[in-house]
Amino acid sequence: MNLDELNKVALAMVAPGRGILAADESSGTIKKRFDAIGVESTADSRRDYREMLFRSTDAMKNNISGVILYDETIRQNAKDGTPLVKLIEQAGSLPGIKVDMGAKALPFCPGETITEGLDGLRERLAEYYKLGARFAKWRAVIDIGRGTPSYTSIKANAHALARYAALCQENQIVPIVEPEVLMDGDHDIERCFTVTEWALKTLYEELYYARVVLEGTILKPNMIVPGKKSNQKASVEEVAELTVRVLKACVPSAVPGIAFLSGGQSDEEATAHLDAINRIGGLPWNVTFSYGRALQAAPQKAWAGKAENVPTAQRAFAHRAHMNGLAALGEWKSDLEKKAAA
C-alpha cells in the first residue's frame, strides 16, 4: 500500500469547490428513474444518459472531482468507442466504483439489513483498479424505527465497512465509507443525532481494529435531519449545527474529507444544508458533496431520452454542480437559484 498516493487521491476527491457525482445506480434503481421520465432502460439508453453527463465539460472540469460508477458502466464505451472511464479522466475527474452487493435482511433482526459483497471482493478490486477505478464505495443502511437500530445491526455493518476499507487500501483504492442513517422514519432530529453518533463511533472503532489508515479514506455520512414522516421541521441552521457537532465528536481529523449523501433531500435543500455546514467554518476536514439524485434529477427530467435535449440537460447538470461547488466553499446564495430559473 502506498499511503502517499492514497492520500493524494483522497484529497483530490474533496478538492475545494468540487465534489463527487454518484452515478452508481443499480439497474433496478435507474429503471425507476427512467420510468419516471418515460424512457426505456436498456444498456444503450443508460450508456447514452451517463455519457451525456460525463461529456458535460463545464460541470466535470469545474465542479466534479470524481464519479462513482456501477459495474456495467465502468465496462461501457461511449457511442464513438471511447471507454466511459476515459471520458471521466479526460475531464480531470477520478473514476470510482460501487462494490457492495446491496443490503439484505439481517438474520434475527426484523426490519434491519446487512450489506453484502465481501466474498470475492479482493479479486474484484484488483480488476476494477485495472479498469481505472481509483476509489470505491460501500453503503451500509441504518434504519430508525421502534426498537431499531439494534446493536447487532450497528456492529455488523461497521465491521463489514471496515473489512471492505482494508481490502480497498490493500489494492491501492481509496475507500468511501458510507454508514447511512436513513431519513425515512417519523423520528425527530435528536434521535437522528443519537443514532448517527453511535454509528460513526462504532465505525471508527472498527476501522482502527481493521488497521485501515484514515488518511487514505473518505467518509460519506448523512446529515442530521428529522425523519420524513416526522411532524418536526428543522431550520437549515439547526441541521448544519447538529451535523457539525456530531462530526466533530466522532470523526478523527486524520480523515482528509467528508462528502455528504443527499439521502432523499430535494436539490436545493441538499445544497443549502451543505453551504450552511461550510459557513460554520473551522472544520478539520474538507467538506463537500457526493450526490446522486440531488445532482441528477434536473438533467434527467430535461433530457427525457431525447438527443435534441442533451444541451439543455447538460446545462441543468452544470448548474446543479456549480451550486453545490459554491456550497462546498460556503459561498452559495439562494438567489443564484432564482436567477438561473429566470
Q: Which three-class secondary structure string do you get for the chain? A: CCHHHHHHHHHHHCCCCCEEEEECCCHHHHHHHHHHCCCCCCHHHHHHHHHHHHCCHHHHHHHEEEEEECHHHHCCECCCCCEHHHHHHHCCCEEEEECCCCEEECCCCCCCEEECCCCCHHHHHHHHHHHCCCEEEEEEEECCECCECCHHHHHHHHHHHHHHHHHHHHCCCEEEEEEEECCCCCCCHHHHHHHHHHHHHHHHHHHHHCCCCHHHCEECCCCCCCCCCCCCCCCHHHHHHHHHHHHHHHCCCCCCEEEECCCCCCHHHHHHHHHHHHHHCCCCCEEEEEECHHHHHHHHHHHCCCHHHHHHHHHHHHHHHHHHHHHCCCCCCHHHHHHHHC
Long-range contacts of 308-312 (CB under 8 A, 24+ apart): 310/52
Rg for the chain (alpha carbons), in Å? Answer: 19
In eight-state DSSP terms, residue 173 is -
- Residues with catalytic function: 178, 220
- Cα 207 from Cα 99, distance rounded (Å): 18
Element housing 272 (H / E): helix 267-280
Which alpha helices (DSSP H) does 91-178 contain, by range?
121-131, 151-170
Q: Kindly give the pairing relationship between strand 113-115 and strand 103-105.
A: antiparallel
